[in-house]
């Protein structure tokens, strides 16, 4: 086999391997990536593209006259960030023992800088779009107890393997609407 023929055969093999890889990726289906966090015993997923940073929780400076869900403000990278308590927004009971602990999720949003206070970050999850379930309806409303819940990733749906439990998926636009309008 001449050098030219060997070169052409090598290129053909590489082309076939690249084409096969593209087919395998198409069979996997579209994926959605989430940062999964815990608030109490509940797990919530946030689109990874909407998360700018994860910061350790710390005490916030109170803002007089602010809504109860606004924990306060903190400085991050030279910017003042409003911190919203996710447990309060979702109507979960909180007795104050985790205030100042946990994590803050700095979000990529239009408008003023915002972070969500959560108890802890669990990990990253990659879920096939077809595996995401719509929230059940109870009396014509979402049955997961929060308007901001747009879906549910069942246990075992994470193809990355770092999040074994299921989690509710948060629609950040709906969650933050009362604070950014």
Q: Give this prediction's pTM.
A: 0.75
Q: Which residue has tokens 């948060």?
A: 170
Number of domains making up the chain:
1
CA distances from 84 to 1, 22, 31, 57, 123 (A): 69, 42, 28, 12, 21
Q: Is residue 18 part of a domain?
A: no
- What would the pLDDT profile of 95-141 be if each residue is shown by its tens digit? 555 455 799 999 998 889 999 999 999 999 988 888 888 876 555 55
Q: Is residue 23 part of a domain?
A: no
- What would the pLDDT profile of 148-158 be if each residue is shown by its tens digit? 888 888 888 87
Residue span of the structural domain in which 35 resides: 30-180
Q: Is residue 166 part of a domain?
A: yes
Q: Is residue 25 part of a domain?
A: no
């Amino acid at each position: 086999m001449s050098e030219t023929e060997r070169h052409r055969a090598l290129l053909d093999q590489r082309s076939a391997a690249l084409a096969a890889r593209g087919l395998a990726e198409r069979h996997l289906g579209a994926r959605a990536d989430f940062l999964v966090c815990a608030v109490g015993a509940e797990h919530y997923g946030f689109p990874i593209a909407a998360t700018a940073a994860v910061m350790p929780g710390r005490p916030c400076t109170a803002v007089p006259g602010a809504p109860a869900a606004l924990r306060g403000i903190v400085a991050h990278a030279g910017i003042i960030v409003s911190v919203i308590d996710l447990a309060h927004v979702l109507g979960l009971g909180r007795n104050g023992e985790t205030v100042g602990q946990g994590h803050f999720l700095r979000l990529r949003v239009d408008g003023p800088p915002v972070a969500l206070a959560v108890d802890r970050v669990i990990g990253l999850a990659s879920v096939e779009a077809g595996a995401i379930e719509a929230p059940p309806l109870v009396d014509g409303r979402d049955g997961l107890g929060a308007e901001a819940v747009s879906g549910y990733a069942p246990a075992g749906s994470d193809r990355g393997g770092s999040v074994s439990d299921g989690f509710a998926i948060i629609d950040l636009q709906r969650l933050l609407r009362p604070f950014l309008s």
